[in-house]
């Protein structure tokens, strides 16, 4: 009996906590849209129809090389619970996984229990983590008086009575129903002790059964009369500590507002380990979209506020795309910015003191607007080795190297300089200089005072060009050929990275099974092509 109890505790001991996630980079997948089974027709998936296209847990498992070869060390998948089963609604089918009916049952559209276990096992064999999306706020219905027998919770007392949402009231956000009268989302009474206990039992069982390493906690977000009021107050705050403690793994929540005070309130010992960094997303949009405000000050201000207001910036989830927002290429249209913005924000999110999250298809330059157009099938891209994919591979390889060989992940970020169109950031020994200048050349630049002695040889990892430090530790970045990002590190510090001709002996072996891959062999010419084609926004994910 004692042996059995010890065996049951082993998964909890091995579970990935918040600190284990600091150095990870996450690739987000909608299961139905990632990969098709053999023999399926790749031309029959129309996002506008909002229906099933055929992706499964098994097809993701069979196509993990594409994610791992880009250097990602974790995969976030859409919800695994049973969803609404019935006639197609005016809003389509539950292909996305967020219309949960019974959380305790698996969604057989995506496969069997063994299929999900096989996916988890394969990820772990590759040294990668599995993050699963969960929905606890509500269940999907087709009327405001649903048949409760189809749900996990079957008693009226376990749901809040139907009421129309008042977005200006926190109480209304917690207790009233999301959705509308066509597809109402029945609000679960998460103050009810029987609900709390059942959810804790379920999430503990799910995590143990499928060896899940982290949870992304969803709050389904319909169109609101005032989007600034949209946030994760749909569930009472005191529900979360017990829920996440029962899970025993890292929890990151969706708080869909750019108000940093609202978002920061949901990180800490009385709430969640982490939150998706919507305030930083808003600042990145303000700083880098073309056309747009191009307000670098918004970015520097948000960096300063983040250090003051978040419990732990190193655990925040940084992103520039997801299933609820338009693709970056839909909101930034400068012909070079379509690529340069990706490069700048990739670099920023790589060097940013946070966890970078890339939404599937971002590396393929998808340009869908909001739901459902931003949920395109990935297979139409042919999983091409695009310039953006190569950039992500380089940035992940660089970040993985820093995470695994230095204390970089725990170092703080410092703004060294900022102008109307540029910002220079220091984290560890890495300097990133980012700009919102697009295609046209501009007779301007940014001088940056670094902590390095004069004549220290730096190297730009995006071009492999040496960059000596001038007098008083200064470097200069000019934009005579248009805006391009620069990511610099002392040449001696790149030894063992596998980048820019440096061997990667330090990167081999079991210690680096966390998803760090052999480098993409890139000549100077290919890197120049990357520099001219891919830019601003991936840097915005990788390096705070």
Report pLDDT digits (tens) over 483-514.
788 999 999 999 999 999 997 643 322 232 23
**Beta strands 26-29; 355-359: pairing state:** parallel
Q: Sign of the CA dihedral 10, 12, 13, 14?
A: positive
Q: Binding site for substrate: which residues?
A: 99, 216, 324, 375
Task: Name the binding residues.
Answer: 99, 137, 174, 187, 216, 218, 234, 254, 324, 375
pLDDT score recorded for residue 226: 39
Rounded to 5 degrees, what are φ and ψ at 539?
Answer: -60, -25
pLDDT at residue 543 in the model:
56
- Token readout for 539 is 């840097």
**Pick from 529, 430, 436: nearest CA to 485:** 436
Q: Give buried/exposed letters for 383-407 (b at 16+ CB in 10 A, else e).
A: beebbbbbbbbbbbbbbbbbbbbee
Query: Which one of 115, 133, 218, 371 is the catalytic residue?
Result: 218
Given this model, what pLDDT does residue 222 score? 36
Instruction: Please tell me the distance from the alpha carbon of residue 299 to that of residue 279, in angstroms, as a whole number.
Output: 10
Q: Identify the pLDDT of residue 224.
A: 39
254 is catalytic: yes
> pTM for this structure?
0.90
- Long-range pairs, 60-66, Cβ under 8 A, ≥24: 60/29, 60/31, 60/34, 60/35, 60/119, 61/115, 61/118, 61/119, 61/122, 62/35, 63/34, 63/35, 63/383, 64/122, 64/123, 64/126, 64/128, 66/383
CB 430 within 8 A of CB 486: no
Report the pLDDT value the prediction gives residue 334, as an integer from 0 to 100.
63
Q: What is the pLDDT of residue 351?
A: 59
Q: Which residues of the chain have pLDDT under 50?
A: 1-13, 220-232, 338-339, 505-535
- Point out the catalytic residue in the list 102, 254, 262, 363: 254
Using CA atoms, how far apart are residues 312 and 140, in angstroms rounded to an integer?
34
């Amino acid at each position: 009996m004692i042996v059995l109890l010890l065996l049951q505790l082993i998964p909890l001991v091995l579970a990935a906590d918040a600190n284990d996630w600091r150095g990870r980079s996450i690739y987000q997948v909608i299961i139905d849209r990632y990969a098709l089974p053999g023999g399926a027709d790749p031309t029959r998936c129309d996002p506008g129809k909002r229906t099933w296209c055929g992706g499964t847990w098994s097809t993701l498992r069979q196509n993990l090389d594409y994610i791992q070869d880009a250097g990602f060390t974790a995969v976030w998948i859409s919800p695994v619970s049973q969803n609404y089963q019935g006639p197609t609604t005016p809003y389509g089918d539950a292909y996305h996984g967020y219309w949960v009916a019974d959380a305790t049952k698996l969604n057989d559209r995506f496969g069997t229990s063994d299929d999900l276990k096989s996916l988890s096992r394969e990820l772990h064999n590759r040294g990668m983590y599995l993050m699963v999306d969960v929905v606890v706020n509500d269940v999907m219905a087709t009327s405001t008086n649903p048949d409760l027998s189809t749900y996990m919770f079957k008693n009226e007392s376990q749901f809040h009575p139907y009421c129309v949402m008042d977005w200006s009231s926190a109480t209304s956000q917690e207790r009233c129903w999301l959705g509308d009268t066509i597809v109402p989302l029945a609000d679960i009474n998460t103050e009810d002790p029987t609900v709390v206990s059942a959810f804790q039992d379920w999430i503990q069982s799910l995590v143990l059964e499928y060896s899940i390493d982290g949870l992304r906690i969803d709050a389904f977000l319909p169109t609101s009369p005032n989007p600034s009021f949209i946030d994760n107050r749909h569930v009472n705050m005191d529900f979360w500590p017990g829920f996440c403690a029962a899970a025993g793994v890292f929890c990151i929540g969706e708080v869909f507002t750019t108000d940093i005070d609202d978002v920061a309130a949901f990180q800490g010992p009385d709430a969640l380990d982490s939150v998706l960094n919507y305030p930083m997303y808003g600042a990145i949009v303000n700083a880098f979209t073309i056309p747009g405000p191009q307000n670098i000050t918004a970015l520097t201000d948000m960096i300063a506020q983040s250090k003051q207001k978040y419990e732990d910036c190193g655990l925040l989830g940084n992103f520039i795309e997801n299933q609820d927002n338009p693709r970056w290429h839909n909101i930034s249209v400068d012909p070079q910015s379509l690529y340069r913005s990706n490069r700048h924000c990739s670099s920023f999110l790589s060097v940013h003191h946070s966890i970078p999250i890339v939404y599937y298809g971002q590396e393929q330059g998808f340009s869908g607007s909001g739901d459902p157009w931003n949920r395109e099938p990935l297979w139409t891209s042919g999983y091409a080795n695009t310039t953006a994919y190569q950039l992500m591979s380089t940035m992940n390889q660089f970040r993985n190297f820093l995470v695994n060989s230095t204390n970089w992940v725990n170092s703080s970020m410092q703004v060294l300089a900022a102008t109307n169109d540029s910002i220079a950031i220091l984290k560890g020994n890495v300097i990133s200089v980012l700009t919102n200048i697009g295609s046209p050349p501009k007779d301007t630049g940014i001088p940056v005072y670094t902590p390095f002695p004069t004549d220290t040889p730096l190297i730009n990892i995006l071009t492999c060009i040496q960059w000596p430090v001038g007098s008083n530790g200064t470097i200069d970045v000019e934009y005579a050929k248009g805006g391009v990002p620069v990511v610099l590190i002392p040449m001696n510090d790149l030894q063992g990275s596998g980048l820019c001709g440096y061997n990667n002996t330090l990167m081999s072996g079991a210690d680096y099974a966390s998803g760090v891959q052999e480098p993409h062999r890139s000549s100077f010419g290919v890197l120049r092509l990357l520099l001219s084609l891919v830019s601003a926004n991936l840097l915005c994910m990788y390096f705070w």
